[in-house]
């Protein structure tokens, strides 16, 4: 059963889009080829990333394929969450991972946490406060001199 859609334009989830791009780049870096498809779906705080790949890229036991690709899938959720947090400040909690190698499908689940990380703050790092320009602070530091 599909949900009814309203006549409003489809909204693009920037976090899901970024997570999809990170996953796509990680897959390309590990396998050397583009994934067949990467999609993201978001429902409130749940984010699902679907990755389609060529099933022959997973090692089948006879030496062909990439022997480490199935293991690399286990590390990808943490790397995607770290990249999204570093770029947006939004923390993602990696959830379950499901890989169906015979169909070439991997599904990554995340929960978007409400609080922003400490990496992104509202503080302007280049703002000069009045407290830093007081006479007391000038007395502690020697004056700056320009070299000629």
What sign has the CA pseudo-torsion 100, 85, 39, 21? negative
Full residue range of the structural domain in which residue 32 is found: 14-116
- What backbone torsions phi and psi does residue 144 show, to the nearest 5 degrees? -75, 140
The two tokens of residue 76 are 């990808």
Give the pLDDT score at 69.
Answer: 75
Q: In this structure, what CATH number is given to the domain that contains residue 47?
A: 3.30.980.10
User: Using CA atoms, how far apart are residues 65 and 101, in angstroms rounded to an integer?
Assistant: 12
User: Using CA atoms, how far apart are residues 36 and 33, in angstroms rounded to an integer?
Assistant: 9
Q: Is residue 21 part of a domain?
A: yes
- Looking at the chain, the whole-number percentage of residues with pLDDT higher than 70 is 62
Q: Is residue 92 part of a domain?
A: yes
- Determine the average pLDDT of the residues in 137-143: 56
Domain count, the chain: 1
Give the pLDDT score at 6.
Answer: 47
Q: Is residue 57 part of a domain?
A: yes
- Report the candidate in 121, 141, 125 with the shortest Cα–Cα distance to residue 133: 141
Q: Is the pLDDT of residue 129 over 80?
A: no
- Report the candidate in 13, 79, 73 with the shortest Cα–Cα distance to residue 42: 13
Give the pLDDT score at 72.
Answer: 87
Q: Is residue 9 part of a domain?
A: no
């Amino acid at each position: 059963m599909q949900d009814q859609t309203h006549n409003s334009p489809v909204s693009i989830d920037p976090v899901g889009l970024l997570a999809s791009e990170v996953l796509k780049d990680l897959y390309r870096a590990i396998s050397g080829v583009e994934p067949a498809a990467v999609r993201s779906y978001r429902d409130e705080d749940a984010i699902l990333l679907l990755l389609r790949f060529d099933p022959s890229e997973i090692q089948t036991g006879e030496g062909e394929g990439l022997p480490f690709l199935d293991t690399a899938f286990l590390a990808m959720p943490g790397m995607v969450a770290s990249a999204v947090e570093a770029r947006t400040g939004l923390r993602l909690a990696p959830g379950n991972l499901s890989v169906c190698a015979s169909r070439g499908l991997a599904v990554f689940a995340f929960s978007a946490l409400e609080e922003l990380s400490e990496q992104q703050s509202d503080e302007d790092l280049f703002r000069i406060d009045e407290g830093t320009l007081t006479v007391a602070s000038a007395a502690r530091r020697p004056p700056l001199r320009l070299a000629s």
